[in-house]
Amino acid sequence: MGISPEGMKLVLTGVIVSFLGFLLGTWVKWLGISVFSIGALFTLFSAYFFRDPERDRVFAPGEIASPADGTVLSVKTEGDPDTVVVRIFLSVFNVHIQRSPIDGKIEDVSYTKGKFAIAYKPEAAENERNRIKILGEQGLFAEVEQITGAIARRIACYVQEGQEVKAGEKIGMIYFGSQVALHLPTSVKMLVKPGNNVQAGETIIGIIGREVKIPGQDESFKIQKEVY
């Protein structure tokens, strides 16, 4: 279990405040205890919120990983009939690091200014957000939207256009309660529904048909379409 780079700065700040409170307590005990307590609580909260648990699950071809920890709000098409959108709400108690849902190449990263509605409300779709488009093999695509909430107003993106990523690899982080939307082709068989709890880089959120090479009698391989 580690702490994200963004969190380390806040943890260090809390430690410094606690230390100053300890020193202050040698002159004014009650004030020192108060400052120390505030610093200690801030340190513990920052360490917990910005925790970065180790997740090393290897996903098989065709498996799509959840991009975020949280609770599934909805699984439906929104405007584009060929795209299904999975919306995941992240409470302050969830890990806030986002991970790539598929193996692929970052095709585009775009940031959009917007509102700061409560993250679990439908209008949060118009909030300030960062969209990461990933292009996988055989035309598979996945778009991860990092969406701010009423409190969360800072988004960190760890990837850039042209970068190769693996399913489960860290791609960004949102501060405090927020929402993540995953856009996928409607050909994907979804394995989650509203109310389900998911974990980034651990939960299989959907599956697709995949091509599997089966040894034949000659030097070539027969390609078989596998349907889940």
Enumerate the active-site residues.
178
Q: How many residues does the chain have?
A: 228
Element (H, E) at 212: strand 210-215
CB atoms within 10 A of CB 186: 12
Residue 172 makes CB contacts below 8 A (sequence gap 6+) with 97, 98, 130, 132, 144, 146, 155, 156, 157, 158, 159
Q: 201: left (phi > 0), else alpha (psi -120 to 50), else beta?
A: left
CA 223 to CA 21: how far, in whole Å?
68
CA 176 to CA 180: how far, in whole Å?
12
**Half-sphere exposure (CA, 13 Å, Cβ side) for 91?**
7
CB atoms within 10 A of CB 147: 27
CB atoms within 10 A of CB 171: 24
DSSP β-bridge partners for residue 86: 75, 182
